[in-house]
Structure 1
């Protein structure tokens, strides 16, 4: 007979440091789970703000158990370990002070745990960008059924048959049997060790838990990019941040090897090439010269030792990056660095010019980075790293004029027919499609102009910001997608345009830091005030 969910009680471990503004909401979200939560162990990592006062406000709630550290640990691992040691209930769940639990999540996970006799039960984590409120699912290919995920609803004895789970490095989206953690001596790295989740998750996976995979909404991860104190994962402009990430990844590989599970070390290295490396490399041209040089040295030293099988399993553009990085002793500059960064984009693209080796084979860049683009011929139309440049003008309609570049003959061989421009609004995530436009041969590529009525792009009372993706249609019916970037040297345009019925529109056509084409426009006084206040904030920030 399966026990009712409330029969198995949970210790929620909340960690906090100088977060008086949010920790109360985190605690309340845990208490709101009901009687399944037997205690909320709040570990205050020697806060110097009003966090202790917030915790004192829960003095009448017997389930809230503050645990105050006298000296700050420098990281998240030590306070979580303190929480595990203090926990008394059969199950443990982790919660950061600036995040919240989804209503009813604990009961649902406990029901799965009891039915499947699991050691660990995963739930779904939502990343919520603040203040906009835009939400995305963490690791959607693993947990989002609407995106084709197939693992939810399965129970695994260890993860070696599904090594893709190595990509899930979060600790907070899971419910753990406390006896399992204690029996295998699984803890977080102590002290000022960042990306501690990576190592903890590897230790859990290396212990071969009975793992129930669900898509139960469990955790809301608040991403506050404008916060005064950014979370570790958002401090990508610091070289220390990258060095910590590399150290954590090295530790993950070592965990799997020492546990006698070298087969899991391979997907861990592949994950680094497909996820961690591109995320930082795409921003490298924006960093100072000293940062670029040191980053390159650290990265090259790390990836040069990767197993051949791990490199072979990576996506083709990332295999090329690995080969280029290991071929170059020093960081490239100018156009060559841009080429690396563009290939590391979320939608990889190879930008002109397109060099070839002496025997005519496509290569990444000029010597000594003239590594072959192995696998280019086998890429599907959807996987081709096509480069599309574009500009926008606004009147009664917004016109996006774009150029599709040839790619070593691959695009021409597919006979591109037309293009649709997909517009995405930054704040709401709303999408709309422009009418299909024919692609016309022009020089070393093709051009087209797509139009969208300006009225469809306006958002009442505020500034609307749109980005653009080109959806290419080929003669055989296949399609490809590419982010539309601005041409080299584009400095942006600001002005006034007239929409339908003489409506005055304020318009900005700008390039994002990664040169993505961005259109901002507004109509009416409320939108104008928002534009003006934004300019004032930027002026004051520069003083």
Structure 2
């Protein structure tokens, strides 16, 4: 299939940050013909962002703005709102302020031929995949997410990407890695050790329940290495180097 055929939907979420959301939408539309639709989900902003974002629909007919009736307090619920409205075969998620790099969608859509030829990464053989929990650098098959009931945690749930990624891996997806960096992440969640621990615990339980023991152990070891007081700086640095290398490969 021609990678330039409109096949992808990008869900962009935001709350009280219209200028940053608009920048993200511009980076998505700059992807060209690969984009079938852009769903902008406003999480019930209170600063007039909803009205300003609504004007995006006049910029390009592919843009639709969805305004939630109440503020969720997190990023999972707005993404689920967008996911429910996706009509494209493929979907990716961007937070307002993050940017897609030129040619990102073409690179991701072009990698589909590797799945057909069997050149894909099996999560059970690549446990380091559990460390790359960010969803903004990935393209998902919409029917895969829906068939397996994969959604983000609802409400005020920090580190929702960790749980979402575990649900994806638990469903045994075919994964293709591309060497092209596809996104720039400019939005960061505040550090919250307790919330991160809870997210990793849920990820561990999800993978264990699905029989993905190796992946579950990789999740537990990753979090224990980050938080355990007995870990030496050298050991922690080894883990960081491995993660950095994986990020460069996956981006």
TM-score above 0.5: yes
Post-superposition shift, 1:347? 6.9
Q: What corresponds to 2:27 in structure 1?
A: 29
Q: What corresponds to 2:180 in structure 1?
A: 216
Q: What corresponds to 2:84 in structure 1?
A: 85
Distance across 2 between alignment mates of 1:40 and 1:220:
18
CA distance 1:346–1:265, shift in 2 (3 Å): closer
Post-superposition shift, 1:180? 0.7
Question: Would you say 1:52 and 2:50 are equivalent positions?
Answer: yes
- Divergent runs of 4+, >3 A: 343-348
Distance across 2 between alignment mates of 1:205 and 1:222:
25
Distance across 2 between alignment mates of 1:53 and 1:346:
50
Matches within 5 A, 1:364-513: none
Post-superposition shift, 1:262? 1.9
Q: Which has the higher helix share?
A: 2
Q: Deviations over 1:225-250 (max 9, x none)?
A: xxxxxx42xx23xxxx2221111011
Contact preservation (8 Å) 2:114, 2:176: no
Post-superposition shift, 1:15? 0.6
Q: What corresponds to 2:144 in structure 1?
A: 180
Distance across 1 between alignment mates of 2:153 and 2:218:
22
CA distance 1:165–1:115, shift in 2 (3 Å): closer
Question: Would you say 1:244 and 2:199 are equivalent positions?
Answer: no
- Structure 2 alignment gaps of length 5 or more: 238-251
Post-superposition shift, 1:274? 2.6
Contact preservation (8 Å) 1:23, 1:51: no
The alignment of Structure 1 onto Structure 2 pairs a total of residues equal to: 236
Post-superposition shift, 1:164? 1.2
Contact preservation (8 Å) 1:24, 1:54: no
Distance across 1 between alignment mates of 2:75 and 2:234:
30
Q: Which has the higher strand share?
A: 1
Distance across 2 between alignment mates of 1:65 and 1:87:
11
Q: What corresponds to 1:9 in structure 2?
A: 7
Distance across 2 between alignment mates of 1:91 and 1:347:
36
Q: What corresponds to 2:208 in structure 1?
A: 257
Post-superposition shift, 1:6? 2.3
CA distance 1:14–1:242, shift in 2 (3 Å): same
CA distance 1:115–1:166, shift in 2 (3 Å): closer
Q: Deviations over 1:417-474 (max 9, x none)?
A: xxxxxxxxxxxxxxxxxxxxxxxxxxxxxxxxxxxxxxxxxxxxxxxxxxxxxxxxxx
Q: What corresponds to 1:116 in structure 2?
A: 115
Post-superposition shift, 1:345? 8.0
Q: What corresponds to 1:75 in structure 2?
A: 74
Post-superposition shift, 1:7? 2.7
Q: What corresponds to 2:132 in structure 1?
A: 168
Secondary structure of the 2:57 match is coil
Q: What corresponds to 1:43 in structure 2?
A: 41
Post-superposition shift, 1:16? 0.5
Q: What corresponds to 1:201 in structure 2?
A: 165
Secondary structure of the 1:14 match is strand
Q: What corresponds to 1:509 in structure 2?
A: none
Q: What corresponds to 1:155 in structure 2?
A: 120
Q: Deviations over 1:23-47 (max 9, x none)?
A: 1100010111011101100010001
Q: What corresponds to 1:356 in structure 2?
A: none
Distance across 1 between alignment mates of 2:47 and 2:233:
40
Post-superposition shift, 1:255? 0.3
Post-superposition shift, 1:49? 1.5
CA distance 1:7–1:74, shift in 2 (3 Å): same
Contact preservation (8 Å) 2:43, 2:68: yes
Contact preservation (8 Å) 2:44, 2:50: no
Q: Which has the larger radius of gyration?
A: 1
Structure with the larger RCO, 1 or 2 (CA within 8 Å, 6+ apart): 2
Normalising by structure 1, report the TM-score: 0.42
Distance across 2 between alignment mates of 1:256 and 1:347:
24
Normalising by structure 2, report the TM-score: 0.88
Q: What corresponds to 1:392 in structure 2?
A: none
Q: Deviations over 1:395-424 (max 9, x none)?
A: xxxxxxxxxxxxxxxxxxxxxxxxxxxxxx
